Structure 1
């Protein structure tokens, strides 16, 4: 049985799984806090959702890549101590924040956007809305603004007063990480192997640094791809962006070279052709498909 048809016929709908995982992320917060609710700010800051949406609209209109920056920031926040805004904390004399942890230092660039939204919200409702809620709502709106699905965001998160450089370094999956290690990190968060594949679909928007895909394009890219003229042209373009020798580490390429500014399924089509930009994503889709195929034999 061919692997590509197997993906379409046997795996759940990827937009639906992404939708489910974002819903799940709403519960990743300290269990000793009051339950989240849709009307938490109904009386204290009724305009909060409108303010955040309008600010995200401006950011995405100015640069569609800003949507990916906010989604990535939300993901990196939730994988450390839950969705508590700890990733937003700066280093102080008494606190080592998460911003300079190795998975974050060259990856996260959405802080300015959240700071700007926070200032707008504060002007409307001083001292009411947590940064953790602002980031979570903004991530939802970012996805919608580039064509992704809508989901309700229950609110009432409390901002963390602590951060964990150690957990940020240990818990957040990286682009060159092995599949088993990535799966173990997702399992630690209560997520499944299917969720690993689903969440990688968020790479349908956003960019990757040369340092994170150099090994892939000078390694097994040609082996996994169909080596068609289009594939060869794509690989040649990637190599022009990312030289094999020293240098160019901060040069970037879209992870979805077909529709880089649209939240859709095209990234999975790229993976099915063996042309995934990141080793971790390509390895993940291959292993998942093989597992699904073997389970049907």
Structure 2
């Protein structure tokens, strides 16, 4: 027994030092850890915890250890000083399906492809020149011609109005920037299908996935039907994207919407990493989903 005493003391010392170095956290519950502390407004819940425990805390979300910072100084260290360390996001289940193998800028791991995709987005899609170029679309969609936002608001004067839905419609119409067409130009059935597909995509990205918090239990995604929903939505996204890309390819004149720009960039010979059709779809869809998310937030 005495032979093991030094080893036991060393182990206790290591555990003690580890506990001292780890950021504080409230007592976790068995299995779920601190998931019960998160509400439908998790940023508020984490802010309340930070007020009690300090600017850096260490909650355990299911099986996933997490570090949360809540001060400008620590945020600068994470997002600026040590950005390359924290740049990669976890490969979430929905992202593996719906961002075509995590090949968009949001979920692709930090590296050569990520740097190239980010550079393309900054210089080709979101540059001041490109933003100015699309000014006429923003003007058309926010000025009073029939069916546009001001006209819709005027028609609803004096009645209860769902502003989220109106801004959602506006964001859909602004897809002219990404796809070169607005939903209202389609038939009513095609327009509704497109909205339904993208709404489901957004819901899947934002929804709770048990496999993301309990990696050992990913098999539950099949039992809950999540994997089936993801596969179905992916098939619909591919069909929508293929149709849009085919329209651009078959046109003799190159469009300067996002798809047209990316198709042009895809042909360049100076790319460090080749842009596949799936990469192209992921880059366009993330911009579209971001506009939808902003419209209802």
Smaller-chain TM-score range? under 0.3
Largest Rg, 1 or 2: 2
TM score, norm. by length of structure 1:
0.28
Question: Whose RCO is larger (CA < 8 A, sep 6+)?
Answer: 1
More helix as a share of residues: 2
